[in-house]
Structure formats: structure tokens, C-alpha cells
Structure 1
Amino acid sequence: MENRLDGIAAALDALAAAGGAQAPAALSPSALVEVNRAFGVLMRQVDAAFAPVAAEISRQSRPQLGGDSLAKKQGFRSPVALIQATTGASVGEAIRLVQVGESTAPRTTISGEPRPAAHPHVAAAVSAGALSVTAASAIITLLDKLSLRVDSARKDAAERDLCQRAPGLRADELTRLLARAEAALDPDGLAAGHEEHRSARALRMQERDGTLHLTGVFDLATAAPIKTALDAMVTRVLQNNEHAPRHEHGGGDDPEAGALRDERTVPQMRADALHELCAHALGCEQVPTAATTTVVVRMTLDQLESGCGVARIDGFDASLPAAEVRRLAADLQVIPCVLGGDSEILDWGRTRRLFSPAQKLALAERDGGCTFCGAPPAWTHGHHIAWWNRDAGPTDLDNGVLLCTGCHHRIHSDGWEIRVDGVGVAARVWFIPPPWIDADRTPRIGGNARTALRC
């Protein structure tokens, strides 16, 4: 416990040095970012110190103790309720604290011999303040789920890899990383899970208060064309909005010009897109998605031919059994990821300005979507690192990245630099911040490499 308190004290000193004692409004942008970082370190250190305490409260409140349970003696029905009352944590947060504390504590055998923690790499990362309790709990939950189906050596390597990659990831990026880890470690379990998900698919309709409520649950294969079609239609509207003026009431903008901009929310766009698709399906042979809307499946040629292994569908974090892709291919316009064949030209030099569909597929395989923020591929477009018109940049893969509209503007406006190391879809994309964001200009990894696995 003394070492853990030392970590909290060091984090407090770093927070004070960053300016944490000042009013937030008085901080410069760089100081505000540094204080935010220091608070993150402090929060992780506090959780790292508290998790073993929560685990011990749970141990001393185990059901076998009956009336001697610590929680019941304090007037609580469970250790989780005791932790909630004293910390204000939610049920989930209290459970995660107990779980992480139990899984990262040193153990002893029946004979009293010491044993390492059940998850030693998670324990080290949490103790160092690098991994939050939330991320640690997610990693532990996945590894425990796979413990009976994955050998200990692979599980240990996966735990080490996940603990190295999880720090700094957003919640959605961590979810994507864990989904890929599960698919890589247990492809057989993925196939069984897919059949369960397919059996559970359902769409319920209920009319209530003058509105129709749709509640749907879909397996990935069923969901792929639904999501792809709706995303394509929403993306079309968002791209039109990129150059359309916004009408400000009471301002000097032309009202007719302002009307060109679509002010619907994205959920409203999806609802209208579903209506538009169904209205067309009732009597029109053409649908508004047009022939360019495709379901893109990422897999190897061997997996496509053998039906073994797993595949990824653009826009989804979870993976799909490769055998299921054959059914998709029979029903839909599916593009398997077999890139760079003799019939495709992936590097165009200066002969064309816009990236070709084949190049965009290759970029999506490398970048996974917006290389900067992680938005799905359908929301992105190809961006020249060295500008085509100003810098005579070629329309080649090593001079291109996928960016959504917002990140495209941010990269240019804020002065970020982009570097591509390597060739083809295995290359790594780095974003170099401007000096006013990071004086050291430390490169930040982008795209798929953030959640790529080595295990």
C-alpha cells in the first residue's frame, strides 16, 4: 500500500506543477492539456490503490461468512453496496474495482507458497498508472472468457500485447481492439457465437402515441447491407453539407442559400433514409444508394477460398466467420479484400487527381477508416499528404490517407504533418502535431495500427 500511496503523491506533485491549483479559465491551452493529462494519471493511480482495498472488502464480505460479513456488519447487503455508498460509484464501477483488485493481487497456494497475480501484465500496467480500471476490467473479462479455449502461452502473449496497446485508446477503440483479439484468439468460438446471434435476429414493430417504434437485433451478416446502405445515404448528405452555406436567423446570409444546407441530425437522416429505401422498394426498380454502395469484407484470398478463419466487415468492430462470407457473396455486391492484383492499378502518379475505388479499398484496409479519429470508411475520402495541385503530390498509396471531412479540415487548419512508414496496406501512418500543440512534436500513430495485434 505504501508504494501505491507514493504513486498518488507523485501524481499530485505532477498535477500541482502543471498548474492544477489554478482556476481552469486562467490556464493557457497547453497548460490546460497538461493539467488534463495529470488528472488522468492521478485518477488511474487512485483507482490502482483502491482496487486492492475493494477486493479485500469483498473477501471479508464473502457469503460464507454469514452474519460475520464485513458489509453486513456495516449495514449493507453486499460489498458492492458498501463500496457504492462510500464512493458514490455506480454498481458497474464498484464491480470493476473488485474484479481488478482480485485479478491483480498476488496469490498463495494451499501450502502457502506465493504465486503471481492471475493477470500479471494487467497488474503491472494498473500499478504503474498506465491502465485505467475500466480498461483493465475489459481486458480481464475477455481473457477470463477465453481461458478454457486458449492455451496459457497465447493468452499470456495477448495480455501483454493488450496492456501495451490499451493506454491512450478511447472506449470505442478499446472495444475494437478487444473484438479483434477475441477473433484472433478464438475463431471457433466466433463461429459458434455467430450462429447464436443469427438465431437471435429480430425486428419488432410497435405503434405507440402516434409513432412507430422499431427495435432490431441483427447478426453481422444480416446487418451489413442495412448499415452499409443507410451509411451511404447519410454520407451523401454530409458530403453535400460540406460546401453548403448555413443560414443564420437574423444574420446577413441569403435565406435561399441557407436552405441548401441540411440541418437534420444524423439519427433523423437515418430514419429518412430507411423511409426512402422502403418507399422506393414498393414500386421503383432503382434505389437511392446507387450501384456504388457495396459491402466491403476484409479477408485473405485463402480464407475466401477455404471458408476458414475470420473476416472483418467495414463499419463493424466485431468479426465474422469466413464461411459466412460465401453466403453474403451469393446475395449481395461484396468486395473481398484481395488487393493489388494484375487488374488493379493502385499507384497512379500524376495521371489522375482523385483516388480510384481500388486505391480507396487499399487505403481502407491500411487505415481502417478515418486515420485520425477512427470514423468508418464510408464517412471518409482520400486525402493527398503532399497536395496534388500545390506540391505536385502523386495520387499514390504512400501519398494518401483516409480522412473524414472534419479531420480533413482540422489537419489543414491546425498544421499537422502526416508521415507514412512502409509500403502497401502494411504501412503505418503517423500524425505529427504542430509545435503549439506539442512542443516536442511527438508522432502519434494513426489508423488501424492503433488497434493492430501482435498476438
Structure 2
Amino acid sequence: MTSIPDYLATIGGPDTAFAVPQVTGFADAELLDGQRAVAELRRRIDAVAAAFAGEIAHRSRRELGHAGLAQANGLRSAEDLIAKVTAGSRRDAHTLVKAAELMPAPPRPDLPPAPALPRWQTLVGDAVGSAAISVEAAGIIRSRLAAAADGADDDALAAVAEALVAEAPGLTIENLAIRAARLRDELDLAGIAERERALHDKRFLRVSRQLDGMTRISGLLDPESAAVVVPILDAATSPGRGGPRFVDPEAAARADELARDERTVDQLTLDTLVELVRIGGRVDDGTILGDRAPAVRILVTRADLDSPAGPDGERTGAAFFEGQAEAVSIATAERYICSSGAVPIMFDGDGRVLNLGREQRLFSRKQRIAMAARDGGCRICGAPPSWTEAHHIDHWDEHGGRTDIDDGVLLCKFCHLNVHNNRWRIRRDGGDYLLEKPDGDGILRRTPLPSHSPALARLLAG
């Protein structure tokens, strides 16, 4: 049997007939060593491919117009040309071009010297050029750290890049992305809110009918949406995916029944989502959805939660939805603590739990129904009650643990976000509520927030 090194040495030989090796005879250790060796070879080949891609991109740069290499071959861009030559995807071609941008630029006597790359990018490019990391890993590190480049100094970025390059060979791409995001957020806490908004803006759900009678659903969930949706779908499909074993006889019986279900996990996921939508559609427009069980958890340190606001009104710090890797802003954590349905769990610097949020801090279902009758929907924009969340007009620690109807108003999610993110306040004057926020000149103004409830209006008129 040909050894792995001998076989790998022949792969690139154009005069050698290619054949996939017979790996069934390898021992376990040999099999794993072979996989590692192939990965090393692939990193080297990808580094060479990136060098070629970079030169193709240079010869196809926009200022060359139709004389550029890509357009001369009838294609719009270097990525299109690379994809055609390699019979690959445009995405893979883009990854190679981006990796080439990190590698040292060759000298070009006919052109002025290229601007020097930041040190952190040079470190990543050198790692690609030496086959220490893959071009895909380089893309992950680059994209995560580039998001913090404006909020962190070069030395700090270089230190993080060096650490990620060292850790990358021992991490999957998914875990590298999580690790890079963590280090990026530690570098640039002030940028978390903006990155959260960017992810929030990418969310979408698209429904399109197909000619065969089926309907396709596609979309992207931002971390907050995923924190609500994914645990529910996981709970419904977990036994079918080899989920946890149950001690409770009823739970065990349900798991056994689900295991015998002929539906695939994907089909069960869809059926669960459809049933949830069906149930939600039965809720009257004038009532609050009773879906505020504490299934969504926000993890945040006491120090971050108590951090002072900066000149722009934003507070630096990081919070996390349980089960989600991306950090969210302190404003979002505060909104969830204020709202119903989330359990805030605060830790001290030693990792000890300081406080586990109690259901008493949340408005009860009956209280929310009463607030719906009083407010008639969102106090700011008038959205129907079924779209709203209960907002504490005073923070939890300011009203001594009370959750009185008088201390809450209904706000839709959009207006609730605005109140928290902009550090606005809602004040009560007897039975009236006023929105307190600065005007264009920075002067604090109070705007009345009248009720939208026709029943209350009729009562007051009588």
C-alpha cells in the first residue's frame, strides 16, 4: 500500500494518472493523520490559488476598463473570471481575492507602491502565505476584526490577530467565528450597539410561490429573533435529533412518540412553526399575546449593566442572548429586563451568579390585559395591543420591586427599542403619561402620550 506522503507527492504531477487512494486499509491513527496531511496540502494549494487570484484581480482592476483581463475575456469582474476558469463558485473566488489582499503585494516598477497594510492584516496574510491557516479562516478573522478597526488601536488589533492565528488550527470555522467575535467585542465594546443594529437590519423573511404548488420560505434571523424562535423549534424537535434523555415519564413518553414519528426533523420543524402561527392567529387583536414565559434569557454582567452612558448616549458593554454567539448592546439587555418574557441573569467578575430575575418583576397577563384596555395599544405610535410589550416607566431598581399597572405602559417593539436605545423616559402625571426626550437643540421636552382606547375615551367623556 502506498504511504500517505508518497501518494500526496504525486497529486500535483500532471504526468501522473490521478486515482483516489484506497483508504479502507488504514488504521484509525493513519486515517486521521492522512486527513490532517490533506488539510495541510489544501492550505498550501489555496495560498497559491490566492496568489493567482490576486494577480488576476490586479490585472482586472476597474481603471483598466475593457483592457482589463476579466473584461477582455467577456466577464464583469475578476471573481467571475476566476469562477469560470476554476469551474467553482463566485463566493470561493471572492474568498481567494480577499485573502490575496492580505498577503504582501509584489513590487511593481510601473506603479507607485501600494499603501502599507495595518499590522494585524499583515499577520493574517503571513499566516495564509505560510499555510498556517486556511483562506476561509483568514476571511473570518479579517471580517470580524475589520468591524472593530475604528474603535481599537493597531497594537491591540495586532495582538488579537496574533492570538486568533495561533488558535485557528485547533478550531472549527464555526468556533473560530465565535472566538473572533468575542475578542472583537472585548476590543470594541462601544461598537456592539452598531453591530447589533447592522445584524438587525439584515433580517428578512421571504415567501415565494413555486410552479409546482409548493411555497418556499427563506430568511435570516438576527440574534434577538433567533433567541426567541430557535429554542421553541429545538424544544419541539430535540427528541428526533437525539436530544436529552428524560426522567419525567410524560416527557419520556412524548420523546418515544416523536422518535416513532415518520416525519423528518425538517418536516417537524415546519409543522411546529405552522402550528405556532395558527395559534397566534387566533388571538384577538385587542388582547396581549400570552407568550411571555421566560424562555429567552439575557446574560449580562453587573458592571456592564451599571456602566455610565457616553456622550452619544450609548453605554459600552456586552450582553448575550442565551444560545446566541453574537453580542448585543446593553440597551437591548435593559429593554429585555424591562419587558416581559426574559430572565436577566447577572454575574460578578468571578463568575458567580448575583441575581436570577424573578417573575414578579414582570407584568402579569391580567395586568397586561388591563393595560391594553387603558392604553388601546402602543402609547407612542398606536400599534394594536397584540403587537406590544409592557414597558416599566421606572427601572426595576428604582421602584423597589413593585410592578404596578400605573408604572407601566404598552409600547410596540419598535417604539420600545427607541425609548431604551435613545435613553428617553416616560413620566406619569396622575393618570397622564408624557414622553420626555430632547428636541433638536438638546432641550428636554415632554410630549403627551394619549390613550388610544376608545372605551376609555367614552368613559372619560361620560
TM range, smaller chain: 0.5 to 0.7
Amino acid at match of 1:165: E
1:294-327 deviation line (CA, Å, top 9, x unaligned): 3232321111233641112122221110221111
Out of 129, 132, 138, which is 2:131 matched to?
Answer: 129
CA 1:236–1:308: 2 relative to 1, 3 Å: farther
| Equivalent residues of 2:346, 2:354 under 8 A apart | no
Alignment of 1:232-311 (within 5 A): 232-235=235-238, 238=241, 261-278=260-277, 282=282, 294-306=295-307, 308-311=316-319
Amino acid at match of 1:309: G
| Equivalent residues of 1:312, 1:318 under 8 A apart | yes
Out of 336, 339, 345, which is 2:345 matched to?
Answer: 336
Q: Which secondary structure state, in structure 2, belongs to the residue aligned with residue 331 of structure 1?
A: coil
In 1, the alpha carbon distance for the partners of 2:94 and 2:237 equals 39
1:269-296 deviation line (CA, Å, top 9, x unaligned): 32333345456664899x99996x6323
In 2, the alpha carbon distance for the partners of 1:221 and 1:333 equals 11
In 2, the alpha carbon distance for the partners of 1:111 and 1:16 equals 40
Alignment of 1:395-414 (within 5 A): none
Task: Tell me the CA shift for residue 161 of structure 1.
Answer: 1.7
In 1, the alpha carbon distance for the partners of 2:61 and 2:215 equals 48
In 2, the alpha carbon distance for the partners of 1:288 and 1:114 equals 58
Task: Tell me the CA shift for residue 148 of structure 1.
Answer: 3.4
Task: For structure 1, list consecutive stretches of 5 or more residues without a partner in the other structure.
Answer: 1-10, 245-256, 345-455
Amino acid at match of 1:336: I
Q: Which secondary structure state, in structure 1, belongs to the residue aligned with residue 263 of structure 2?
A: coil
In 2, the alpha carbon distance for the partners of 1:219 and 1:78 equals 31
In 1, the alpha carbon distance for the partners of 2:70 and 2:101 equals 17
Task: Tell me the CA shift for residue 45 of structure 1.
Answer: 0.6
Out of 323, 333, 344, which is 1:325 matched to?
Answer: 333
| Equivalent residues of 1:224, 1:295 under 8 A apart | yes
Aligned residues between the structures: 318
Task: For structure 2, list consecutive stretches of 5 or more residues without a partner in the other structure.
Answer: 11-18, 248-255, 308-314, 357-462
RMSD: 4.2
| Equivalent residues of 2:118, 2:154 under 8 A apart | no
CA 1:263–1:180: 2 relative to 1, 3 Å: farther
In 2, the alpha carbon distance for the partners of 1:259 and 1:103 equals 50
In 1, the alpha carbon distance for the partners of 2:155 and 2:98 equals 23
Q: Which secondary structure state, in structure 1, belongs to the residue aligned with residue 328 of structure 2?
A: strand
After TM superposition, the structure 1 stretch with the greater mean CA deviation from structure 2, 102-111 or 137-146, is 102-111
- Larger RCO of the pair (alpha carbons < 8 Å, separation 6+): 1
Q: Which residue of 2 aligns with 1:229?
A: 232
| Equivalent residues of 1:221, 1:328 under 8 A apart | no
**Percent identity of paired positions between Structure 1 and Structure 2:** 28
Alignment of 1:105-144 (within 5 A): 105-106=104-105, 119-144=121-146
Q: Which residue of 2 aligns with 1:312?
A: 320
1:121-144 deviation line (CA, Å, top 9, x unaligned): 112221222211111123223334
In 2, the alpha carbon distance for the partners of 1:269 and 1:75 equals 47
Q: Which residue of 2 aligns with 1:381?
A: none
| Equivalent residues of 2:207, 2:216 under 8 A apart | yes
Q: Which residue of 2 aligns with 1:172?
A: 174
Q: Which secondary structure state, in structure 1, belongs to the residue aligned with residue 304 of structure 2?
A: helix
Amino acid at match of 2:352: G
Q: Which secondary structure state, in structure 2, belongs to the residue aligned with residue 273 of structure 1?
A: helix
| Equivalent residues of 2:240, 2:259 under 8 A apart | no
TM-score w.r.t. structure 1 length?
A: 0.57
Q: Which residue of 2 aligns with 1:248?
A: none
| Equivalent residues of 1:309, 1:322 under 8 A apart | yes
CA 1:217–1:301: 2 relative to 1, 3 Å: same
In 2, the alpha carbon distance for the partners of 1:144 and 1:337 equals 30
TM-score w.r.t. structure 2 length?
A: 0.57
| Equivalent residues of 2:203, 2:219 under 8 A apart | yes
In 2, the alpha carbon distance for the partners of 1:64 and 1:202 equals 36
Task: Tell me the CA shift for residue 156 of structure 1.
Answer: 1.3
Q: Which residue of 2 aligns with 1:50?
A: 49
After TM superposition, the structure 1 stretch with the greater mean CA deviation from structure 2, 179-188 or 95-104, is 179-188
1:420-444 deviation line (CA, Å, top 9, x unaligned): xxxxxxxxxxxxxxxxxxxxxxxxx
In 2, the alpha carbon distance for the partners of 1:317 and 1:27 equals 38
Q: Which residue of 2 aligns with 1:417?
A: none
CA 1:171–1:262: 2 relative to 1, 3 Å: farther
| Equivalent residues of 2:185, 2:318 under 8 A apart | yes
Q: Which secondary structure state, in structure 2, belongs to the residue aligned with residue 89 of structure 1?
A: coil
| Equivalent residues of 1:276, 1:288 under 8 A apart | no
| Equivalent residues of 2:208, 2:217 under 8 A apart | yes
| Equivalent residues of 2:300, 2:333 under 8 A apart | no
Task: Tell me the CA shift for residue 181 of structure 1.
Answer: 3.5
1:139-172 deviation line (CA, Å, top 9, x unaligned): 2233344433432122212211221122242232
Q: Which residue of 2 aligns with 1:421?
A: none
CA 1:327–1:212: 2 relative to 1, 3 Å: farther
CA 1:147–1:36: 2 relative to 1, 3 Å: same
In 1, the alpha carbon distance for the partners of 2:352 and 2:67 equals 68
Amino acid at match of 2:68: S
Q: Which secondary structure state, in structure 2, belongs to the residue aligned with residue 299 of structure 1?
A: strand
Q: Which secondary structure state, in structure 2, belongs to the residue aligned with residue 26 of structure 1?
A: coil
1:375-423 deviation line (CA, Å, top 9, x unaligned): xxxxxxxxxxxxxxxxxxxxxxxxxxxxxxxxxxxxxxxxxxxxxxxxx
In 2, the alpha carbon distance for the partners of 1:65 and 1:308 equals 45
In 1, the alpha carbon distance for the partners of 2:199 and 2:118 equals 34
In 1, the alpha carbon distance for the partners of 2:258 and 2:197 equals 47
Q: Which residue of 2 aligns with 1:91?
A: 90
In 2, the alpha carbon distance for the partners of 1:320 and 1:222 equals 12
Out of 123, 143, 157, which is 2:159 matched to?
Answer: 157
In 1, the alpha carbon distance for the partners of 2:343 and 2:202 equals 24
1:1-52 deviation line (CA, Å, top 9, x unaligned): xxxxxxxxxx9658469xx984223333332222211111111111112322
